[in-house]
Amino acid sequence: MSNKAARNLFVFGSLFFFLIFIVLTLDTMGKLDKRAPEITEEVNAGKMAWHKYDCIGCHTIFGNGSYFAPDMTKVAEKKPKGYLKQFLMDPKSVNPRAAMPKFGITSDEADKLIAFLEWISKVDTNGWPPKPILAGAVGAAVKELTEGQKVYQSLGCSNCHMISGIGGTTGPDLTNVGSKKDRVWLLGHFKDPKAYAPNSAMPAFGHLSEKDLNDLTDYMIALK
């Protein structure tokens, strides 16, 4: 092959692949635009409120954030707007077990936060987040600990803790916690974690009813 032919092959080959790159890029960008709805002023204001109250310090969106509380990516699809607004303004008035404090979020801020959460829920996330799986105790103890499992699930404990390979890794693995800690320790730790583990990042659950605390402790004791 002559030098001229080689040069022409290089030039036209480079141009051909450059055009393919441009076409694929435009096609990808076009698809990405369709995966997210338009960002309105209300949505943007809701995002600002999200940062103002440091929601990401406990929650996650699109898998990013902390794992102390439930993922918010699709929450607007799961809960009605009225429920979300009341919960944002006064969590315990909706769910007495809620660990989330009352931040003093105004009605207007709640509406904007919900607009932000609704926007997030409409983004095509390719199936994220996955459906939660509740790890149960093994054997005959399962039926006896139904209430304890419900408390465990409602508090979002699996966001941080793992049982039998299922759950988060931020907190200690609880698979065999019943063989490591006694009832007094577990119950006291739920009420005031830092009194038992000064460096604990776990929130205190002393606001729970005695029944919920005892049910949760029963569940932990059975994990051996």
- pLDDT at 3 > cutoff 80: no
The overall average pLDDT reported for the chain is: 83
Phi, psi of 185 (to 5 degrees): -65, -50
> CA 170, CA 45: separation in Å to the nearest integer?
31
* pLDDT over threshold 70, residue 125: yes
Structure confidence at residue 38 as a pLDDT band (50, 70, 90):
confident
Angstrom distance (rounded) from CA 59 to CA 160: 11
Tens-digit pLDDT profile for residues 63-119: 888 877 888 999 999 888 999 999 999 998 888 888 888 999 999 999 999 999 999
**pTM of the full predicted structure?**
0.56
Residue 22 CA to residue 29 CA, distance in Å, equals 11
Q: What is the pLDDT of residue 54?
A: 92
Residue 163 near residue 174 (C-beta atoms within 8 A): yes
Strand-pairing partners, residue 61, are 64
The percentage of residues in the chain with a pLDDT greater than 70, rounded to a whole number, is 84
